[in-house]
Amino acid sequence: MSSRIDESNGEIEGKQLLAVINHPNYQSNPLATIQRHLESTQPVIVEEPKKKSNRTGKKEAKKSKASSNAQAMDI
């Protein structure tokens, strides 16, 4: 049963491939045609820029305070 499905899927895919290859837009500029197709069929994902964390700055500030306190104790 699954081999029949595979064969029919293969026939459908083969016909689709021939239709694409014989299309005038594809023949004139294949890469641009594929790009246009992907742009029109794929969802657009907008990535927001990641917020910069100021975690290292906070740690550095704590370290500098700690070292100044240690120096004050030595005196």
The answer to whether residue 74 scores a pLDDT higher than 70 is no
26 near 33, Cβ under 8 Å?
yes
Confidence (pLDDT) at 6: 76
Confidence (pLDDT) at 8: 85
- Whole-model pTM: value is 0.47
Domain spans, the chain: 1-41
Compute the distance between CA of residue 8 and CA of residue 2 in angstroms, rounded to an integer. 10
Query: In sequence order, which ranges of 1-75 are alpha helices (DSSP H)?
Result: 2-22, 24-28, 30-41, 55-74
- pLDDT tens digits, 2-52: 777 777 888 999 999 999 999 999 999 999 999 999 999 988 788 888 877
- pLDDT tens digits, 56-65: 655 555 555 5
For 6, list phi and psi in degrees, rounded to 5. -60, -40
60 near 66, Cβ under 8 Å?
no
- Collapse the DSSP code of 23 into the 3-class scheme (helix H, G, I; strand E, B; otherwise coil) and give the result: coil
